[in-house]
Amino acid sequence: MSPRRTDTGGRIDRLKTIRFTFDGVAYTGHAGDTLASALLAKGVTLFGRSFKYHRPRGLLTAGVEEPNALVTVLKGEVREPNIPATMVEIHDGLVAISQNRFPSLAWDVNAVNQLGGKILSAGFYYKTFMGPVIGPLKGTRFWMFCEHFIRRAAGLGSAGSAKDPARYERMNAFCDVLVVGSGPAGLMAAKAAADHGARVILADLEPRFGGSTNWSDETIDGAPAADWARRTVTQLEGRDNVRLLPRTTVWGYYDNNTLAALERVSDHKEQPAKGEPRHRYWAIRAKSVVLATGAFERPLVFPGNDRPGVMLAHAAERYANEFGVLPGERIALFTNNDSAYRAAVALKKAGAAIVAIADVRSELSAEMRKLATEAEAEIFGGHAVVATEGGKALSGIKVQRFEMVTGALTGEERSIHADCLLMSGGWSPTIHLASQAGAKAEWNAARQAFLPPKPTQQWIGAGAFTGSFSTVEAIAEGRAAGLAAAGGTGTPTALPTVEAVAGDPDPAPVCEIRAKGKSFVDFQHDVTSEDVRLAHREGFVSVEHLKRYTTLGMATDQGKSSNVPGLAIMAEALGKPIPEVGTTRFRPPFAPVSIGSLAAERFGDLRPERLTPMHDWHLANGATMYSAGLWYRPMIYGHAGETVEQAYVREARATRESAGIVDVSTLGKIAVQGPDAAVFLDRVYTNMFSTLAFGKARYGLMLREDGLAFDDGTTWRLGEQDFLMTTTTANAGKVMQHLEYFLDVIWPELKVHVTSVTDEWAGAAIGGPKARQILAACVTGTAVDNATLPFMGIVRGEIAGVPVMICRLSFSGEMAFEVYSGAGHGTRVWEALVEAGKPFGLVTYGLEALGTMRIEKGHVTGAEIDGRTTARDLHLDWMLSKKKPFIGSAMMDREGLIASDRLELVGLIALDNRPLNGGAHIVEALDEANPHGSIGHITACCYSPALGKHIALALVEGGKARHGTRAHVSDPLRNRFGPVEIVSNHFYDPEGTRMHG
């Protein structure tokens, strides 16, 4: 006997066949099937191996709370592990595999762990693999040694390493009422709120709206409940003020009524539609929220309750009524409450034989007896299931007389032949979102459940979420909640009428049958009731400690089915009532969330790119681009067959011999304007700017409030009240915020306005012995001779008819000029300069040559201004004005910042003529086997064509005092050791005769 598809019934389309594979075997299912229902329909009962003991496991549930049937879905090279088969909608070409088994699901070598069951109890690994007190594997070293092997045997699916090609997106949404859950309560709430004119979003994690109406046998307004639900959804679909989000899990409830949701947009399709993302992350800001999230059925804890074929009663009802799948032919039930009797009737109607109903209660109501009769089932009142039989599928159960108050088992065991056992241990309202919203759940002894707390945010609960488990209550509460959430008041119209079997919502307070054998509490993490008691015996009395020690409720299902039974067993062991033991607070996410959806467009092809005005020219002229933050800049303009080093050496050499031009448009540019602009700059920079003449530029240094160096750059005085500040590329945004902060918060009396103009200007720096001649050949409207354009002077003129501003300043150490033009004309000016430079041997150069020439000159950049260095460390103390206070001046002279052993900027020359590496350490004495005694590190390095040597800038203890001495580079990671000479950071033309010309 095995599970099978029924001939009729269910919300699947039997005319549409879908082909997929599981563990390499081809299967077919129907449109509307999940992977779980499709495989079950084909008789598959074994879905996975358990976490620790590698026990065979089947389906426990039919929904998001599934702890056992976790699979890995493969899409090409990309693998997504640990997805419940109950949440995978099948599509043509779906490839899924089982997990945590070797070599195959049916034959698993680690299943031998089951024999060691007594040993592999809670804390086994911590206790056993704590090594000896002495020796090479002492203490935790032994654990670290063993961990690799243990992790391979235990655990869930493995993540892939292939790059995920899927696209993810983020949406912001605003609404008056967000309804979470689309069962009868949610549908009524959404309709009531929408009728009242509210903007409504209705989200449900299932592909089909309707919740329990999809599988219940009840009628609403005289029609099958599912028809009523479909009608209601159709009404909502047609409204402008309603947005329906199926396949959308609301997983986080944050402050200000902000909720996070994950929409699985195209997982269920063979190919996503053009432009469709895989997942969409919704940030929903709702004025109010209706929580109609329903309830999870709980398993009962008894020996063998994890055998494939044992599942929750409502799950079986769902498989039969929603998917047209019978989970067995001879079905037994084990329950502590009335709800399971509905399942018995449903499965009987679907064609199964109900062989027995074991109920822990000896007194049963007349209604339940009537249902049992309808299901033609033998009732075992006051009985419990004490064992299950079979291997990878259930073959039978044993029941015994059970005394509810004492928990005692008496009388003979009786064997019952069954291929499926349904259990029901009562219901736990799905209060996760309410708990996340910030309040503690309240224990209700009658319902044997934690009920939602009083709202601390704008939400209203409805239906099973509140502990009202009947459809009649759900409909009434749903409408009231929807109306209240929309700000309306009660309406007198009649509610839809429900025809349903009445039942007592309160279960018997029994969650465990103590008999011989493993009784599982947390199926996913293989935690048994004995593990919980062991933890108690070993002194873990707080529920938080219990959770961490046993890992109860800590798997990907976050204990959706195990929380209450685990707590009840702990409470019993402690001899305390459940509310005193307490529950842990639920935290986001409610269900696993794809990392891609959180990164969304901040990653991949939607990440913004910043391109300079001359970007296309660079690409067309052979540049290899380099990404620097969001910017793209030429690294080299390589010739055919050249290495990167050959290219930058050629570019730097040509610049020093004739001339070179580089795109500097990425430098941060800030217009500082207003009557107090000069005063402001005096406070911001360490040196004076109020004394700067019009038409001149000055190099400036900024410190942070704590006295450490912050940023450097030149600032140009364009007029009495008009300055153009340049910053390093990387710090442009930070400097802007720094200036704004001081103007807005500290010195609001200063009349200064700062504007970011980085994108308004294109910049080209042209330097070298021939640079002036090149400019003279193409600039009109101004002379560029030494008298008109002295060092740090600024002139205005035109190039190719474009107005330009030219400042004579140098980063390369050559006679150099920065030519700024409106960004839109950048390429035209650049091309004119390149054309004018042809007769003079002008080269274009990229970041590598730029860096090489700055290292040769000993200029600092972000690598040296690293947030730990002071102006003195960088030999920029000549810039610290003594005539005025400035930001950082009060703190820069602290003891630790002026100590003689600080790391200072120096130059290094490799004496073995081999390349040096950034980040390598400098030591006084070399010890390759045991590297130690660092006196500093390299910040930047290159081959210097000007010196013909491998050189570097470094921060070294004592700095200047070591000039002329020898040390060693010690770089064990790259196995680079060797002698270096410490020299001044000004390697090349220290007097600056070349740039002053």
Partner 1 sequence: MLITCPYCGPRGVIEFTYQGDGNRERPDPASQNFEAWNAYVYDRLNPAGDHNEIWQHSGGCRAHLRVVRNTLTHEISSVAFVRGDHGSAARRKAEDKA
Site residues (CB under 8 A) for partner 1? Answer: 172, 254-256, 258, 283, 285, 438, 683, 705-706, 737, 740-741, 744-746, 748, 885-886, 889-891
Handedness of CA 349, 350, 352, 356 (dihedral sign): negative
Rounded to the nearest whole angstrom, what is the least distance from the CB of residue 260 to partner 1 in the complex?
12
Q: CB of residue 537 vs partner 1: minimum separation in angstroms?
A: 37
Burial class (CB in 10 A: 0-12, 13-18, 19+), 642: middle
Helix, strand, coil share (%) of the chain residues, nearest 5: 25, 30, 45
Q: Give me the DSSP letters along 799-841.
A: ETTEEEEEE---SSSSSEEEEEEEGGGHHHHHHHHHHHHGGGT
Q: Omega of the bond prior to 915 within 30 degrees of 0, cis?
A: no
CB of 699 to partner 1, least distance (A): 23
Q: Kindly list the distances between the CA atom of residue 662 and the CA atoms of 659, 819, 834, 941, in Å, as whole numbers in the listed order.
A: 10, 10, 10, 20
Smallest gap from residue 685 Cβ to partner 1 (A): 14
Q: Please give the Cα distance from 73 to 62 (Å, whole number).
A: 18
Closest contact distance (angstroms) between CB of 836 and partner 1 is: 41
In the complex, minimum distance from the CB of residue 191 to partner 1, in angstroms, rounded to a whole number: 29
Residues 6+ apart with CB under 8 A from 800: 778, 828, 829, 831, 832
Is the Cα torsion angle 566, 567, 568, 574 positive or negative in sign? positive
Min CB(174)–partner 1 separation in Å: 10
Residue whose CB is less far from partner 1, 328 or 707: 707
Task: Say which residues have a Cβ less than 8 Å from residue 8's Cβ, sequence separation at least 6.
Answer: 324
The nearer residue to partner 1, 606 or 746, going by C-beta atoms, is 746
Q: Look-up: residue for tokens 């693999």? A: 129
Q: Give, as one character, the DSSP assignment of residue 307.
A: S
3-state secondary structure of 644: helix
For residues 926 and 931, give the distance between their C-alpha atoms in angstroms, rounded to a whole number.
7
Which helix or strand (DSSP H or E) is residue 411 part of? strand 409-417
Q: Which is nearer to partner 1, 687 or 985 (CB)?
A: 687
* Nearest distance from C-beta of residue 93 to partner 1, angstroms: 38
Closest approach, Cβ 902 to partner 1, in A, equals 19
- Least separation in angstroms between CB 706 and partner 1: 5
Considering the complex, what minimum distance in angstroms separates the CB of residue 894 from partner 1?
Answer: 8
Looking at residue 452, what DSSP letter applies? P
Residue 172 beta carbon to partner 1: minimum distance, rounded to whole angstroms: 8
**Nearest distance from residue 598's CB to partner 1, in Å?**
13
Count CB-CB contacts under 10 A for residue 362. Answer: 14
Q: How far is the CB of 667 from partner 1 (least distance, A)?
A: 21
In three-state secondary structure terms, 958 is: coil
Return the number of the residue (75 or 683) whose C-beta is nearest partner 1: 683
Check if the beta carbon of residue 739 is closer than 8 Å to that of residue 747. no
Question: Pick from 517, 568, 566: which is nearest to 55 by CA?
Answer: 517
The helix or strand, by DSSP H or E, that contains position 783, with its residue range, turns out to be none
CA–CA dist 584, 745 (Å, integer): 43
What are 818's two structure tokens? 């920065």
Smallest distance from partner 1 to CB 459, Å: 15
Q: For residues 985 and 982, give the distance between their C-alpha atoms in angstroms, rounded to a whole number.
A: 9
Cβ nearer to partner 1, comparing 102 with 747: 747
Closest to partner 1 by CB, 246 vs 438, is 438
Q: How far is the CB of 281 from partner 1 (least distance, A)?
A: 13
Helices 771-778, 826-837: inter-axial angle, 10-degree rounding: 120
Task: Please identify, using beta-carbon distances, which residue of 744 and 991 lies nearer to partner 1.
Answer: 744
Q: Is 278 strand, coil or helix?
A: coil
CB of 169 to partner 1, least distance (A): 16
Residues 6 or more apart whose Cβ sits within 8 Å of residue 822:
760, 761, 762, 802, 803
- Of the candidates 120, 141, 121, the residue with the CA atom closest to the CA atom of residue 130: 141
| Whole-angstrom distance, CA of residue 941 vs CA of residue 540 | 57
CB-nearer residue toward partner 1: 109 or 746? 746
Token duo for residue 377:
């089932």
Q: Is 591 helix (H, G, I), strand (E, B) or coil?
A: coil
Return d(Cα 57, Cα 67) in angstroms, integer: 10
The answer to whether 363 and 336 have CB atoms below 8 angstroms apart is no
- 711 vs 904, beta carbon nearer partner 1: 711
Inter-axis angle of helices 543-550 and 529-537, to 10 degrees? 120
Type of residue found at 696 = K
Q: Look at residues 183, 242, 227, 179 and name the one whose alpha carbon lies nearest to residue 209.
A: 183
Q: How far apart are CA 294 and CA 298, in angstroms?
A: 13
Q: How far is the CB of 746 from partner 1 (least distance, A)?
A: 6
d(CA 285, CA 528): 41
Nearest CB to partner 1, comparing residues 110 and 881: 881
Q: Smaller CB distance to partner 1: residue 684 or 794?
A: 684
Q: How far apart are CA 980 and CA 958, in angstroms?
A: 16
Amino acid at residue number 358 = A
Nearer to partner 1, 465 or 886 (CB): 886
